[in-house]
């Protein structure tokens, strides 16, 4: 059903956002390393 699809989409967006939040400090470290070189 459409409702199930929406909840699944919301679940995936939540997981992706959480992953991005966890990755953000790592990405920032990589960026600052690139700048220091």
The pLDDT value given to residue 22? 93
Question: What is the pLDDT, as a whole number, of residue 28?
Answer: 87
Domain boundaries, the chain: 1-37
Rounded to two decimals, the pTM is 0.51
Instruction: Compute the distance between CA of residue 32 and CA of residue 2 in angstroms, rounded to an integer.
Output: 44
pLDDT in tens, the chain (37 residues): 567 888 999 999 999 999 999 999 988 888 887 766 5
pLDDT at 1: 56
**Nearest-angstrom CA–CA distance, 32 and 20:** 18
Model pLDDT, residue 30: 82
């Amino acid at each position: 059903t459409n409702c199930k699809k929406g909840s699944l989409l919301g679940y995936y967006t939540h997981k992706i956002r959480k992953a991005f939040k966890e990755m953000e400090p790592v990405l920032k470290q990589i960026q600052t390393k690139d700048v220091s070189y």
